[in-house]
Amino acid sequence: MYRRYFILVFLFVVSHAKAQEKEQDSILPISLEEIILVSQQDIFNQKQAKPLSTVDEFLEKSTRINMIKRGNYAWEPAMNNMLSERLSVTIDGMQIFGACTDKMDPITSYVDVSNLSEIHVNSGQQGLENGATIGGGVDLVLQKSYFGGPKQNFGLDLGYESNPRAKIMSAEYNVSRQKYFINTDFLYRNADNYYAGGGEKVQFSQYQKFNVSLASGMKLTEESALVGTFIYDQANDVGYPALTMDVSLAKAIIASLSYEYKNLDALFYDFESKVYFNTIEHVMDDTNRPDTPIHMDMPGWSDTFGFYAKAKSKKNKHQILTNFNGYYNRSKAEMTMYPNDPEESLMFMLTWPDVQTFYTGLFLEDIWTLNSADQIKFHLRIGGQHENIADDFGFNSLKIFYPNMDRSQERFLFGFNSTYTKVLNHFDWMAGLGHGQRAPSVSEAYGFYLFNSFDNFDYIGNPELGNEKSTEINFKLAYKKQNFGLGLETSFFYIKDYILGVVDPVLSEMTIGADGVKIYSALDYATIWNTSVNADYSFLLNWHLMAKVGYSLGQDMDGENLPLISPVTYQVGFHFKKNMFDAEFILNGAGKQKNFSPEFGENQTEAYAVCNLNGSYNFYLGKNTIFLKTGVENIFDVNYSTYTDWNNIPRMGRNFFINLSYVFQ
């Protein structure tokens, strides 16, 4: 099997070398990547519905991403109806892994709008650059002003939301000179319990957090520079109404140092090498929950050291990107149970048995422009992964279920993607084919009695699982003429050895009230189909209409529905802009969820429609700028849940918000 993979690599390199003999032609202005603007510098372009949104709310705007919601904080991103274990989520290309066995701390929760410039979203194997993936890649790009000037500015952003009584404050100070730059910012959020439509109070939905970040660079020569970044993020008193436990502490330290070289006359005209480190501590507890049968503490830790070196080159009709990267991660989590009877002994277990993962991989991208109308893009990633259980107690606990298991194992991961794009008159169309693999997550391979409140089962990992493998086909068609645009996008995933929990009737549950135990197992295969249609129309000089509708279907080899698959969704929006004034009305909705999975604990969610309205105005005081934006979400106070709301927790009811931003030049 490995021989086939290396033959494919060899053919890729040979074809690339021969193709370089041709002459360079113009590069097609087509991008298959979706970019979500987040930067505070972009607040004043009036494109954001709510400038001080959380990162979760920004991600929900993506046409490919839905957010799994367990509370009002730290939603889990899902792409192509696949959850985070099937995605590659990075910050500035850095690998970071959550420390929570219940996925209450996705990577997206450790940054905020104050330190991000944009979010890159790549579907399926188009998201291979930073790591192996099945569903796609999300890279959160940190904000850096880079060199120039002399110039400096100070920004202050204040926000308030009526429903959860949320207070938001952000401040930043930026200096840019010819030889150096410094970006500093601070953000604080505090929210009480929110109210669902109709006035229903959602208990344990409060949270507070603050985020401090620094980015700085120093030029070494005209072509080279050193750039460093640092983030400290901490959240406390975070409630999760959909779960049985809350979070007393979620803390992350993220740091990096990179060397950058840019010279348009060099063979590798853009080169960057980076080393980085991040550490995460996450503490779950149920101290504030009433009528708890047995009190539990569940802390977790995740430490990652990594590097990457990537270079861009251009030759004839080819633009080449090479990225060599690697990381070491250590993940450990434990549970201590305190019996109500003080005469009884404490109970302790390792839910993640100090799993150490080493990964090294090589990514290649070749954008081959055949002519002004045709382009082919190749992606290829090969990598090796070593996993080891460091803790003897955790290893021996798993050996109860797998007496012949090894303490360590090796994996080979491979992925490729090829897309063909053509521009023809007013039509652009793209067709792609890809194949990818992923290793089981720490929970799927080594988790020990992890309780899932959605289906009410305890889960045990399976270290004997092989790699999950996906073959995908995607197609995209776009029509654009003057003020009208129409697009169709569809993708199909055939996932072999699909990893899912399967009931083991022999085992007894550990959690009080659980319905049994599931073992992570590999189904023969599963299929996921996603499709969407969108349209936009500009009229009467100042008006813009946007509409989109999407549908998905996911089933296993027996035709049974997969969990957390989207029903029909739709959005219609009207946007008006004149001079410094900007206004927008948006209708979001979904049909009844018919294809749900009772085995996973799902039930049918009802159809809903929610209306939002916002408006903004820019004021200029000399060189200084004041930006005011206000609006109302869920205008008619609808009480509703979506298919991604864990245990059907209702979404927020009517919410008035106001954002005020002031930039001093």
Q: Are strands 457-460 and 517-539 parallel, antiparallel or unpaired?
A: parallel
Return the pLDDT at 24.
Answer: 36
Mean pLDDT of 389-402: 94
Quick one: average pLDDT of 167-190? 94
Give the model's pLDDT for residue 28: 47
DSSP codes of every residue in 497-566: EEEEEEE-TTSPP-STT---EEEEEEEEEEEEEEEEEEEEEEETTTEEEEEEEEEEEEEETTSPBPSS--
Q: How many angstroms separate the CA atoms of 82 and 566, rounded?
A: 10
* pLDDT per position as a tens digit, 317-362: 999 999 999 999 999 999 998 887 777 788 899 999 999 999 999 9
* pLDDT tens readout for residues 25-41: 334 444 457 887 776 55
Sign for the CA dihedral angle at 80, 81, 83, 85 comes to negative
Q: Of 598, 288, 582, whose CA–CA distance to 455 is shortest?
A: 598
Read off the tokens for 466.
Answer: 């092989």
Give the single-character DSSP code of 28: P
Q: Give residue 630's pLDDT.
A: 95
Q: Residue 239's pLDDT is what?
A: 95
Sign of CA dihedral 160, 54, 34, 564: negative
Instruction: Calculate the dihedral angle through the C-alpha atoms of 643, 647, 648, 649, rounding to the nearest 10 degrees.
Output: -120
Query: What is the DSSP code string of 559-619?
Result: SPBPSS----EEEEEEEEEETTEEEEEEEEEE----S--GGGT--PPPPEEEEEEEEEEEE
- Residue percentage of the chain with pLDDT more than 90: 77
Residue 123 pairs with which residues in a beta bridge?
136
pLDDT, position 576: 94
Q: By mean pLDDT, which of 31-40, 319-328, 500-509, 541-550 is the weakest?
A: 31-40
- Does the pLDDT at position 486 exceed 90? yes
61 alpha carbon, distance to own chain's centre = 12
Q: How far is CA 458 from CA 454, 509, 511, in A?
A: 11, 6, 7
The H or E element spanning position 204 is none
Mean pLDDT over all residues of the chain?
Answer: 90
Nearest to 252 by CA among 209, 221, 220, 298: 209
Average the pLDDT over 490-501 and give the result.
96
- Centre a 10 Å sphere on the Cβ of residue 540 and count the other Cβ atoms it contains: 7
Q: What integer pLDDT is reported at residue 638 of this predicted model?
A: 97
pLDDT at 623 (0 to 100): 80
Question: What mean pLDDT is predicted for residues 235-256?
Answer: 95
pLDDT in tens, 94-141: 999 999 999 999 999 999 988 898 899 999 999 999 999 999 999 999
Q: What is the per-residue pLDDT for 3?
A: 37
H/E stretch holding 8: helix 2-19
pLDDT tens-digit series, residues 375-391: 999 999 999 999 999 99
pLDDT band at 8 (very low <50, low <70, confident <90, very high): very low
| Tokens 């959005």 found at | 571
Judged against a pLDDT cut of 50, whether residue 16 lies above it is answered with no
Instruction: Encode pLDDT of 584-639 as tens digits.
Output: 999 999 999 989 999 888 999 999 999 999 999 988 888 888 999 999 999 999 99
The yes-or-no verdict on residue 47 having pLDDT over 80 is: no
Of 330, 460, 443, 347, the C-alpha closest to 389 is: 330
Q: What one-letter code names the amino acid at 509?
A: E
**pLDDT score at 327:** 98
Q: Look at residue 654 in the predicted model and tell me its pLDDT.
A: 97
Closest CA to 379 of 2, 94, 4, 16: 16
Six token digits for residue 302:
């995740």
pLDDT at 14: 35
pLDDT of amino acid 266: 84
Whether a cis peptide bond, with omega within 30° of 0, leads into 150 is yes
For 188, residues 6+ apart whose C-beta sits below 8 A from its C-beta are 167, 168, 169, 170, 208, 209, 210, 211
**Whose CA is closest to 145, among 266, 264, 21, 40?**
40
Q: Average pLDDT of 170-197?
A: 94
Cα angle: 583, vertex 121, 45; to 5 degrees: 30
Residue type, 198: G
Query: Is the CB of residue 359 less than 8 Å from the CB of residue 439?
Result: no
Contact 220, 178 (CB under 8 A): no
Q: Which of 46, 31, 523 is nearest to 319 (CA)?
A: 31
Structural domain boundaries in the chain: 2-664
Q: What is the pLDDT of residue 23?
A: 35
Q: What is the dihedral of CA 22, 28, 33, 34, to 10 degrees?
A: 170
CA 36 – CA 219 distance, rounded (Å): 29
**What integer pLDDT is reported at residue 50 of this predicted model?**
81
Residues of the chain with pLDDT > 70, as a percent, come to 94
The whole-number average pLDDT for the span 298-317 is 95
pLDDT attached to residue 40 = 52
Alpha carbons 565 and 595: distance in angstroms, whole number: 8
For the beta carbon of residue 577, count every other beta carbon within 10 angstroms.
15
Nearest to 594 by CA among 582, 607, 584: 607
Place of tokens 């007496």: 403
Task: For residue 660, give every residue at least 6 positions away whose Cβ sits within 8 Å of its Cβ, in sequence order, or none.
Answer: 157, 158, 159, 626, 627, 628
CATH for 2-664? Answer: 2.40.170.20
- The type of residue at 10 is F
Supply the pLDDT for residue 145: 84
* C-alpha 140 chain-centroid distance: 8
User: What pLDDT does residue 44 have?
Assistant: 39
| pLDDT tens-digit map of 429-474 | 999 999 999 999 999 999 999 999 999 999 999 999 999 999 999 9
Give counts: helices (H), strands (E), the chain.
4, 31
pLDDT in the model for residue 32: 53
Residue whose C-alpha is closest to residue 79's, from 100, 99, 59: 59
Contact 306, 94 (CB under 8 A): yes
> Each residue of 58-95: pLDDT tens digit?
888 888 899 999 999 999 999 999 999 999 999 999 99
Strand ranges for 268-404 from DSSP E: 268-285, 295-315, 318-338, 347-369, 374-389
CA gap 329, 95 in Å, rounded: 9
pLDDT of residue 42: 47
pLDDT at residue 341 in the model = 76
Backbone angles phi, psi at 588, to 5 degrees: -110, 140
